[in-house]
């Protein structure tokens, strides 16, 4: 049974009516399925069971501590992009030797933290970053394991804001620059160049693009082998598409079948960085209908969740499936919008729902990834609550913020008091 399903006309998450969650914890509210998170992790892990590998969950997709603990207990590592995410991963019980750190703008403080924690790999993205790591390693006497993030300079058919492997994208090093970085690292006794990394974008459904990128990295590895640089960790990154509608999703098994032939003969460990693929379908954003407003075209359904709670539709034009929490007679096509003072605050321009009225609840599906983790306080709106459902129990895993929480973090100069 799918984690979100109708039973006697009510939408359930596992064994809990979603309407009861809304009444107990309020809206807007993110709701996650424990069983779905574990199921998706295990499926991704099993798809690559034929070779030594490590799943490094992309913490940026959803960094809630309870989510990270679920994955840590399942055996997951972590792909992190900040010092804060290193702290979160370690606090959740993810071992340092299962953490990989990427990011084009790692601060000196973050790199020192990564070195102090002795994480598995720092995937460098510029020669300047490599130079600083060398200085740090020599100053502390600690050797540092690195990978080099390669920008394979291939076009990915996805939204330009989530493309990371084109020549014009800021991420990684072009192949010839990557070779220069390895050569520089090879001559430094404190730098251990043991990894190679790519991440070419998100929401990629054409699996052949992963194969193309992997082949670029294999060519670099072959050149490095001639210079006696042996790569032990091949980091394929993440980015497998998860359609907002939930239909037509490429499977991890299909990804494995596409890329593994390119790695034939590789004797190290493959690293994969799924984020959205594990958590997206495990979450919904629960909202309450505030008002209905008829128009000449189609009516507006105004809900209490806004683009500050879930920015993907406004930022990327994402069109997520929306369900009424209670099934009803008949149907109508409506526009679902939020309360934010921006015209971009639209969740759907034409979605068919049972007639919903003020006070009813709706659920926006596939919002477990890049939902709560990208939420903001725009319009002085407090951050939403988050709830985890396991079987027939619902657990609050992040309290709803209050306006007082926001104000109490501010400091007013004495001359204004």
pLDDT of residue 163: 52
Q: Report the alpha-carbon distance of residue 215 to residue 209 in Å, rounded.
A: 10
> How do 233-235 and 29-33 pair as beta strands?
unpaired
Task: Tell me if the bond preceding 28 is cis, omega within 30° of 0.
Answer: yes
Tell me the pLDDT tens digit for each residue of 5-41: 999 999 999 999 999 999 999 999 999 999 999 999 9
The catalytic residue among 296, 341, 412, 417 is 341
Residues in the chain predicted with pLDDT less than 70, given as ranges, are 1, 157-168, 244-248
The CATH code belonging to domain 4-32+280-408 is 2.40.37.10
**Domain definitions of the chain by residue range:** 4-32+280-408, 95-274
| Known catalytic membership, residue 341 | yes
| DSSP assignment string, 64-82 | -HHHHHHHHHHT-EEEESS
| CATH architecture of the domain with residue range 95-274 | Alpha-Beta Barrel (3.20)
pLDDT of residue 365: 96
The radius of gyration of the chain's CA atoms, rounded to the nearest angstrom, is 23
Q: Report the alpha-carbon distance of residue 196 to residue 62 in Å, rounded.
A: 25
Q: Report the alpha-carbon distance of residue 358 to residue 289 in Å, rounded.
A: 5
Tell me the pLDDT tens digit for each residue of 67-122: 999 999 999 999 999 999 999 999 999 999 999 999 999 999 999 999 999 999 99
Main-chain phi, psi angles of 352, to 5 degrees = -95, 120
303 burial (CB, 10 Å; 0-12 / 13-18 / 19+) is buried
């Amino acid at each position: 049974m799918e984690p979100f399903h109708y039973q006697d006309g009510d939408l359930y998450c596992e064994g809990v009516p979603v309407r009861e969650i809304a009444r107990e914890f309020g809206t807007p509210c993110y709701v996650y399925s424990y069983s779905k998170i574990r199921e998706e992790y295990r499926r991704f892990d099993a798809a690559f069971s034929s070779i030594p590998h490590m799943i490094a969950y992309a913490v940026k997709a959803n960094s809630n501590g309870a989510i990270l603990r679920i994955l840590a207990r399942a055996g997951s590592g972590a792909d992190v992009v900040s010092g804060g995410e290193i702290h979160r991963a370690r606090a959740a019980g993810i071992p340092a030797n299962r953490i990989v750190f990427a990011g084009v703008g790692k601060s000196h403080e973050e790199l020192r933290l990564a070195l102090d924690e002795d994480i598995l790999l720092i995937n460098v993205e510029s020669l300047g970053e490599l130079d600083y790591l060398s200085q740090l390693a020599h100053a502390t006497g600690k050797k540092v394991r690195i990978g080099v993030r390669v920008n394979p300079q291939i076009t990915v058919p996805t939204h330009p804001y989530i493309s990371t492997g084109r020549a014009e994208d800021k991420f990684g090093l072009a192949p010839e620059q990557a070779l220069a970085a390895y050569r520089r690292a090879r001559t430094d006794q404190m730098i251990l160049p043991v990894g190679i990394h790519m991440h070419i974008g998100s929401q990629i459904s054409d699996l052949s693009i992963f194969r193309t990128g992997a082949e670029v990295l294999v060519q670099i590895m072959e050149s490095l082998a001639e210079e006696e640089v042996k790569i032990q960790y091949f980091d394929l990154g993440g980015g497998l598409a998860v359609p907002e509608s939930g239909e037509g999703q490429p499977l991890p098994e299909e990804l494995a079948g596409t890329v593994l032939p390119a790695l034939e003969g590789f004797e190290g460990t493959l690293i994969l960085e799924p984020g959205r693929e594990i958590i997206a379908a495990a979450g919904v954003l629960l909202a309450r209908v505030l008002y209905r407003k008829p128009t000449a075209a189609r009516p507006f359904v105004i809900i209490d969740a806004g683009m500050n709670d879930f920015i993907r539709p406004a930022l990327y034009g994402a069109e997520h499936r929306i369900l009424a929490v209670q099934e009803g007679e008949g149907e109508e096509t409506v526009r679902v919008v939020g309360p934010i003072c921006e015209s971009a605050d639209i969740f759907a321009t034409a979605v068919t729902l049972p007639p919903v009225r003020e006070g009813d609840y709706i659920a926006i599906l596939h919002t477990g990834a890049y939902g709560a983790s990208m939420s903001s306080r725009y319009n002085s709106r407090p951050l939403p609550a988050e709830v985890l459902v396991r079987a027939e129990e619902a657990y609050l895993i992040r309290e709803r913020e209050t306006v007082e929480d926001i104000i109490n973090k501010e400091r007013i100069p004495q001359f204004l008091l």
